[in-house]
Structures are given as structure tokens and as C-alpha cells.
Structure 1
Amino acid sequence: MRHVLDRPIWSALETAHADLAEGNKHARRYPPSIVPFAASADDTPESLGALENLPSPGESMFLVEAGPIAIPPGLVVTTEASVVQMVAARLHERISDSRIQPLTEADAADMLALATLTKPGPFTLRAQSLGSFWGIRSEGRLVAMAGQRMRQTGFIELSGLCTHPEFQGRGLGSLLFRFVAGEIASSGDTAYLHAYAANRSAISLYETQGFSVRSQMNMRVVKRRS
């Protein structure tokens, strides 16, 4: 039986994020202005055909699934990578720290600038449409942040974790990681995340924070053929 996180994008757009979904019962995506994620319901010709019709010419979509990803003939793969999906293996306590503040729409430009610098993954000015974010500022500058991205029934993805290079090594990333994991646990959901399989240092860090690998995943970035 397929796990709800085997096709995390589809599961999110079918449940907790259904109000954001573009597409139909065969294939759906988030609005590109929020995050360029898309998925088909399954690998049937109807679903793959619907997936093929989602992007405009030249528009990219990210696909993430456990197992091989079926690519319809009208789409071309521009990037591919192996990813691990990690799930909280223990209950994280809710913590507080006066340095951690909720981020709002007024912080969107600073958030995008930090994400563009550190490259934690796809990020846009409207990332907060998916979930709450928190950050740490130093002399008014946003230097670290983390938040929530995809949601499925019983699960919330911890994402957007990044620290400005000048402030790395001070424990800010670890602090925000534990904070967001605690916020997710306090809501009764299980936290999970994705990391590139080649990023062994990040995976080791997440393991020390009580996360374990649930599944190997595949990631493909696709565009419509011209």
C-alpha cells in the first residue's frame, strides 16, 4: 500500500493544500508563484497527459516521488537528483527563545534574499502561503530562518532552513530546526523533511536532531518541450 509521503506533492494537493491546487483529479500543481511543485495522481496515460498539460512553454516543474518517476513525452528533464525523505523519530518538545520571531509578509523580500544566497531549495516571495516561518535577525538583518512547506494529513514538512554564511557555526540553524520541529509536534502532526542524498553532513545533522530516513526519493525538474 502506498504511503501518504511516497507522492508527497500529490498527497498535499489532494488534502491539506487542496485549496491551492491547480489542475484536476489526474494531475495537480501549486501556483508557480508559490512553489514550482507538481505531481500526477498515478502513472496512467490520463494522469501523465494531464501532468504534461500543466506547465506553460518554458515553465519548470519539480516532481518528487519514491521510486521511478514517469515522465510524459511532452516534458523534458532538465535536472535530476536523488533525495532522502526523513521523518521525526521522536516527539520534539516545544521550545522558546527570544531571538526567534514569526516572519510575516513584510519579511518576504528579506526571506527571498536569504534563500537566494543560501539555496535551501525552491523559494519564492509567496512561500508563506504554505505555512508559518520564523527567523532570527541581527541588527535588523535576517540571518537565519526555517518554516513549514507541504502538508498532508498527519504530516508537515520542515523546510526553508538556512543561515547566512557570516552567521554559520553559531547554532542558529540547529535552534530554528528544533523550534520548528517542536511547533509541528505541538500541533499533533509529524515533522518530515527532504535533503539531497549527497549532502551527508546535513543528513547526519538531522539524525542527531531525532530524524531518520523513511525513504529514498527521486527528484526531477521538467519543462514542456518547445
Structure 2
Amino acid sequence: MTAHILDRPVLATLTGRQGHLAIPHGGAMRMDPDYGLFAATVDQSPESLAALGELVRARGNVGLVEPVAPPPVSGMQVVSSAVCLQMVAEAVAPAWDVTFDMLPLGDADAPEMLALATLTKPGPFFTRTHQLGDFIGVRVDGQLAAMAGERMRPDGYTEASGVCVHPDHRGKGYAARLLREVTARILARGEKAFLHSYADNATAIGLYESLGYRGRREVAFTILTAG
């Protein structure tokens, strides 16, 4: 059976449109750590796994998104391991009226974006993660209250990510409306949208389904560190 490009989204990303962000080493590669911690190997040979370990020691922690968790890597320790549901949208729910403006976010907003992501923990977010794709947000009295944007971009797909809302501004529909807008923009470019949710987060999955996302498969998200 032919593998689907999203079965190994990190490998597809770092060998595709975002290949300029890849730091290769033997049979392994990782995203530039200013942008993200994602990494992949071309196979699970001892040589490729050893190369991955060398990348971790040289460049810091990595995160793998694979069909199954990786085998033990010499000199590496598992920081965390979780099952995620990968979801894909080929259509999006109709837009609805909102009472707030959705503003483009860029380099000038980067410190606030990083602070919001650090506070709310929507997923790995670093100093240049906001440059992986288009981000939009909502400001309330000048404060960045919510945001959503794009991350991995395998050919034909773009991942919606970085969806987060400041605790003081939850319950106002910001997350749903921002994610709906990000998804609609991806689809308007002729691509399909995808995202990842922890498989046990029924609330988030229900929200994503209401916007048009459907579960595709489970994947293992594993963070490795040197040790």
C-alpha cells in the first residue's frame, strides 16, 4: 500500500516546500530550532537513528510525529510520548458574524505571540515559529487575546496550528472563529487543511469536527532529549 504524505508529515515537510528550514545530518533531519523542534529520519536503520541522536546532542530536543513511536535511540531519553489524532478538512463550516476584528500578525507581534503561546501551550512555539505561515489574531484593548496560524506545509497540505486564547478572554468564540478563518484561507489556495489534537481531548476534537475536520489516523508525538 502506498504511504500517504501525511503519514510522516515532518519528513514530507522538511523534504518539500519547507526544506530550506531543514538541518540534515546523515539519514536524519530536523527543523531549524528557531522555528520548531520537529525532526525525522529517512528510515529506522541504526545509522539514521544514530544521526538523529547526534542532531539532538548538537541542536537540542526534537519532536517526532510518526505512525508509531520510534525505537530506542542510543544516548536519548523520551521526554514525553502522546497519541494524537490527525484530522483533515476538505471543506469548512460556513462563516458566521463576529463582533471582533481578525488582524494579520507578523514580526512586530512576535514577542507577544511567543508570550501567549508560552502561557497557553498550544504546542511547541519558538522565536520564529510565527514565520512558518500566515497568522491572524484578535486584540482586546491593545492586548493580543487570541491567535491561530499555519505550521507544517507538506505538498498539497497546510497544517493549522498555534490556536490559543489568553485565559482572560476565553469563552468568546475567538478560537473557533480564528481557526475557521485559517482553514478557509488554506482551502482557498487549493490545498487541504490538517491539524493534530491529543487523541484524548474530546472537547477540542468536537470543535474541530464542527468546523469541518475529520479524523484521518492516529500518530505518535514523541519528544526526545539527550541523556
Alpha-carbon distance in structure 2 between the residues aligned to 1:10 and 1:112: 25
SS at match of 1:54: helix
Contact 1:29/1:36 (8 A) holds in 2: yes
**Which has the larger share of helix?**
2
Q: Where does residue 208 of structure 1 map in the other structure? A: 210
SS in 2 for 1:106: helix
Structure 2 residue runs without a partner (length 5+): none
Task: Look up the match of 1:184.
Answer: 186
Change in CA separation of 1:9 and 1:94 when aligned onto 2, cut-off 3 Å: farther
1:16 and 2:25 correspond: no
Pick closer, same or farther for the CA change 1:21–1:94 going to 2, 3 Å: farther
Retained in 1: the 8 A contact 2:148–2:162?
Answer: yes
Give the whole-Å Cα distance in 1 for the aligned partners of 2:48 and 2:206: 37
Which residue does the alignment assign to 2:123?
Answer: 121
Aligned-residue CA RMSD (Å): 1.9
Is 65-74 or 133-142 further displaced after alignment? 65-74
Q: What residue identity is the alignment partner of 1:215?
A: R
- TM-score, normalised on structure 2? 0.93
CA deviation map 1:53-98 (0-9, x unaligned): 1122692111111123233222111211111100004256689976
Q: Within 5 A, what are the aligned runs for 1:94-105? A: 99-105=101-107
Q: Give aligned-pair identity as a percent.
A: 41
Contact (CA 8 Å) 1:25, 1:41: kept in 2 or not?
no
DSSP 3-state at the match of 2:72: coil
The match for 1:159 is 161
Give the alignment partner of residue 136 of structure 2, picking from 129, 134, 137.
134
Contact 2:25 2:55 in 1 (8 A): no
Asked if structure 2 preserves the Cα contact closer than 8 Å seen for 1:102 and 1:135, the reply is yes
Q: CA deviation at 1:45?
A: 2.0
- 1:150 maps to a residue whose letter is M
- How far 1:144 moved relative to its partner? 0.6
Report SS of the residue matched to 2:5.
coil
1:2 deviates by: 1.5
Q: Does 1:44 align with 2:45?
A: yes
Q: Distance in 1 between matches of 2:44 and 2:7?
A: 13
Q: Which moved more, 1:121-130 or 1:142-151?
A: 121-130
Q: CA deviation at 1:136?
A: 0.7
Letter in 1 for 2:9: P
> 2-side partners of 1:172 and 1:77: how far apart?
34
User: What does the per-residue CA deviation read over 1:8-35, in whole Å, with 9 as the maximum and x for residues that have no partner?
Assistant: 1111000011011001462110111111
Single out whichever of 185-194 and 46-55 deviates more from structure 2: 46-55
Q: Which moved more, 1:118-127 or 1:72-81?
A: 72-81
Q: In structure 2, give the amino acid aligned to 1:110.
A: E
The whole-number CA distance in structure 1 between the counterparts of 2:42 and 2:12 is 9
* Counterpart-to-counterpart distance in 2, 1:4 and 1:50: 23
Taking the TM superposition and a 5 Å limit, the aligned residue runs for 1:145-156 are 145-156=147-158
Q: Between Structure 1 and Structure 2, how many residues are aligned?
A: 225
> Would you say the 8 A contact 1:11–1:152 is kept in 2?
yes
CA distance in 1, matches of 2:140, 2:75: 47
